[in-house]
Amino acid sequence: MADDLAQRGVVLLGCGKMGSAMLAGWLQDGLPASAVYVIDPNPSDWLRAQGVHINAALPANPAILLLAVKPQMMGEAAPQVVQFGGGDTLVLSIAAGTPIQAFEAMFGADTPIIRAMPNTPAAIGQGITAMVGNARASAADMDMADRFLSAVGQTVRLQTEAQMDAVTGLSGSGPAYVFYMIECMTQAGIAQGLPAELAAQLASATVAGAGALAQAADEPPAQLRINVTSPNGTTQAGLEVLMDPSTGLAPLIGQTVAAAVRRSQELAQ
């Protein structure tokens, strides 16, 4: 982690599952525990064991203020840190559904603000986080946020904040879709005669392995699918059901993501 973060400090408002995952990544990447100041009404035993400052006096000019509380708690929690607005502290939010405009109202439009959307695989360093900044956020601010967020996985930068709803529906909510797919594959294996534990192991390992292969391969997923589909074989038989244009996976996933995007848009109102 950069010297600037270690010298000026990092303030973390909220340290639930996502905040804890990020903190673990930063500490592993070399950020000194003494540079981290956490505000949390119910600190976990894990957090207490990390050596960070908890509910203590805050630094005067931290490099980053990370807002990691649930959106419905933001109004109550934010007054504890509004003093960092209007300076060169970067305000970085991972609160779902809360637009940059809302944070500019809290901290002032002259505050550098970046809105980010991580997903739950960040808990094991395998997340992907999309981010977008306001007009005050400089290229250096974006780079600092990028380094900060890359401790828990990949990062991507959006062209406009309007894209954040689509990100929420696809990658933010997406892990739940995949978990449900694993559930369904497990039940299908059980229905075909496999013991439940074995079916669950096969389903989760298959999804994890296919995802890892898709990320590592030079070929696109469509070609990877073709590579494992023998003409008139078992995979083709299964894909004919899955790829049915009316009842298959494509229209269902399209409807699923669209529903999540609509809800994200509603929450932002």
Which residues of the chain form CATH 1.10.3730.10?
Answer: 174-268
The string of DSSP letters for 186-235 reads HHHHHHTT--HHHHHHHHHHHHHHHHHHHHH-SS-HHHHHHHT--TTSHH
Please state the pTM of the whole predicted model: 0.89
Span 170-181, average pLDDT: 97
Structure confidence by residue, pLDDT tens digits, 216-256:
999 999 999 999 999 999 999 999 999 999 999 999 999 99
Edge-first strand listing for the sheet containing 36-39: 53-54, 36-39, 10-13, 64-67, 90-93, 113-117, 127-133, 153-157
Phi, psi of 46 (to 5 degrees): -60, -45
Looking at residue 264, its pLDDT comes to: 87
Least confident of 107-111, 123-127, 218-222, 239-243: 123-127
Structure confidence by residue, pLDDT tens digits, 89-105:
999 999 888 899 999 99
| Fold (topology level) of 3-160 | Rossmann fold (3.40.50)
Residue 124 DSSP one-character state: G
Looking at residue 2, its pLDDT comes to: 61
Beta-bridged to residue 92, according to DSSP, are 66, 114
When pLDDT is cut at 50, 70 and 90, the band that residue 22 belongs to is confident
Which residues of the chain form CATH 3.40.50.720?
Answer: 3-160
Looking at residue 13, its pLDDT comes to: 96
Structure confidence by residue, pLDDT tens digits, 45-101:
999 999 999 999 999 999 999 999 988 888 888 889 999 999 899 999 998 888 999
Beta-bridged to residue 87, according to DSSP, are none
Please report, rounded to a whole number, the percentage of residues in the chain having pLDDT higher than 90.
81
Span 200-215, average pLDDT: 97
Q: Which residue has the higher pLDDT, 21 or 63?
A: 63
First-to-last alpha carbon distance for the chain, in angstroms, is 36
Domain 174-268: give its CATH architecture. Orthogonal Bundle (1.10)
Long-range contacts of 146-150 (CB under 8 A, 24+ apart): 147/1, 147/2, 148/1, 148/5, 148/26, 148/64, 148/92, 149/22, 149/116, 149/118
Residue 238: CB atoms within 10 A of its CB come to 11
